[in-house]
Amino acid sequence: MVGEKNMCGPPNEGGEIIEVEAYFEHSNYNLNEFEIINDIAVLKLNKDIRFSKRVRPACLPCNQKKMYAGVQGLVTGWGGVVPYHPNQYKTVKQKISCNLKGTCLRILSSKSPTCMAETNRKVDNTKLCAFSYGTSPCQGDSGGPLTVSEKGHRVVVGVVSYARGCGDKYPGVFTRVSAYVDWIDDIIADGWCNV
């Protein structure tokens, strides 16, 4: 995470290590030289998370059509902390954070020119863009959450997917979680969330 200057909500501190029992990658995931498609997975942990006043679950979006344009989100991760322009990718000496970091990003309209430039000039309802000058997710933050506050709860609206550079002038691209709620529900149907 580059440029932690604009925290809009504290990430949880402390924690414990829990092993992953199973990994469910989207069956239509595709990474090619032009774009990343269906960049989402679900992890099944080998034991339950103990919730407390400081450790709470993040919710899935209830409204699958809500786009969140203009809303400020909190992205968190343990990734790189050295900003760089896309042309510096091969020469930057990246450092990784040992602490969970977070920063605020404004979610852009999927029709905005800067977002369309990052999503191959098309309005894509499976992706969202978020940006704040000088701060962004970086290598090692991929798969991390972009959350917003709704009715006193944190809601995961995006999953870090890709960006050009780190902390530069380009928005980050996130997998739009609301487009995958039905797929996630199918994966977790054997868990306690099934109602």
Report pLDDT digits (tens) over 37-59. 999 999 999 999 998 888 889 99
4-15+56-179: CATH superfamily: Trypsin-like serine proteases (2.40.10.10)
How confident is the model at residue 13, as a pLDDT? 56
Domain residue ranges of the chain, discontinuous segments joined by +: 4-15+56-179
Higher-confidence position of 54 and 12: 54
State the Cα–Cα distance between residues 124 and 104, nearest whole angstrom: 22
- What share of the chain in percent tops pLDDT 90? 55
Angle at 129 between CA 1 and CA 14, to 5 degrees: 30
Higher-confidence position of 57 and 10: 57
The answer to whether 161 and 127 have CB atoms below 8 angstroms apart is: yes
Residue 11 confidence (pLDDT) above 60:
no
The per-residue pLDDT for range 153-191, each reduced to its tens digit, is 999 999 999 988 888 889 999 999 999 999 999 998 865
How confident is the model at residue 35, as a pLDDT? 76
State the Cα–Cα distance between residues 16 and 86, nearest whole angstrom: 35
State the Cα–Cα distance between residues 181 and 177, nearest whole angstrom: 6
Residue 7 confidence (pLDDT) above 60:
no
Residue 193 confidence (pLDDT) above 70:
no
How confident is the model at residue 177, as a pLDDT? 97
State the Cα–Cα distance between residues 71 and 73, nearest whole angstrom: 6
User: What is the overall mean pLDDT for the chain?
Assistant: 87
